[in-house]
Chains A and B, each alone.
Chain A
Amino acid sequence: MIKAILIFNNHGKPRMSKFYEHYTEDTEQQIIRETFHLVSKRDENVCNFLEGGLLIGGSENKLIYRHYATLYFVFCVDSSESELGILDLIQVFVETLDKCFENVCELDLIFHLDKVHNILAEMVMGGMVLETNMSEIITQVEAQGKMEKSETLTLLFICQSMRQSQASRFSSKIS
């Protein structure tokens, strides 16, 4: 079972966090910090697995992560998941984000936190892997996006263009 999915940037700023087990809010923050601490000090040429920190349950759990440009994607899973399988699941997740946002960048995650969560919900439900097929995930996300479109019609295009122009303006500041 997947216990938690965390995305944070190179500075440890959380960009998305989803916990499938209940922790108190403080613990969640500590877990994010601890995980960042564990993951960030690893070189690029080491393996993508490490044992979970104390808070998330120690040797019972594994952290499986991938590092993309400015972002770390960390899945915390228990022994019932396959390490390499999860590693590729992260890849699927990121590729899906990329498809949905057209060239995803850190800012997309910040401004569309809800959409990221919705995409994730198509892949992982209650800690169980629901769907691993990218085109299927995108179909589902789009099917739900359609109602959004029907409600907000033309504005989407305006938003889209605004987002792109502003995103490029911010990205220099953030990174």
Chain B
Amino acid sequence: MEKSGLNLKATELRLGLPGSESPERGSDKNGNAAVILSLKSFVGSGAKRVFCDATDADAKWVFSVSEAAAGRLFSPRGGGSSNNNNNNHGKVHVGSDSGLGGPVLEDGNGACVAAQSPKPVMMVQDKKSHEIAPSKAQVVGWPPIRSYRKNTMSSQSSKNDDDSEAKLGLGCLYVKVSMDGAPYLRKVDLKTYSSYIDLSSALEKMFSCFTIVSGQCSSHNVPSRDGLSESRLMDLLHGSEYVLTYEDKDGDWMLVGDVPWEMFTDSCRRLRIMKSSDAIGLAPRAMEKCKNRN
């Protein structure tokens, strides 16, 4: 994907492994832009560690065991820019013949430690559909919660899905945020933000190299009420690596920033940080829909 003349340093998203320095931007030999995202950005309220001991104390792994099982899927697209970053500190053998019924991890001392038996992990971004990358593999019977409780709670939360994933009457509006190529979903409470700028900076912190939304939303041209204008949007789309989109109540995928903030929080069901190549088709539709609404 080519870069245009726009300043994209701020908007480029890069995928890399923890502890890696930001590699030089630029295309690898295939002419693809290197996509590096420091996994450190996924450190949430609790940093997660891989099952085995990390030999390098500085390289704090930030994904959990089930992620380790899917470690092979982390390699950046297009081959990646730093070769050594593709090696996990703990080797992961995924296979059903290990006798342990699950992936076996070697820790720094070479001792084998059993991880869980993984179900197939459905992680890879799907260019064709606008499916959110599904959440990670689940281990059978873990966490140990009775089926009755699991079914009851999940039916309660799927009911909430119908209501913009709002927990009824409790004044929060949790929506999932996924990013193409990232191993995690995050959740944000839209009620805690009062504008696109707020949301953008929060997401920026969450996915720390991510500054797309602020780019989308900063007003250079004639601002609309929320600091966004049509033409600016089109300009940005050509250049940025990623854009922020959302799925509305009708199940359509729209570009964030189109509509007034309140209308957005009312109709937003989930957010997705999508490769802009996937989003090109969106913009005109979004504009039309917005026009039709107004």
Partners in one complex: no
Interface residues of A (CB under 8 A from B): none
Q: Which B positions have Cβ atoms within 8 angstroms of A?
A: none
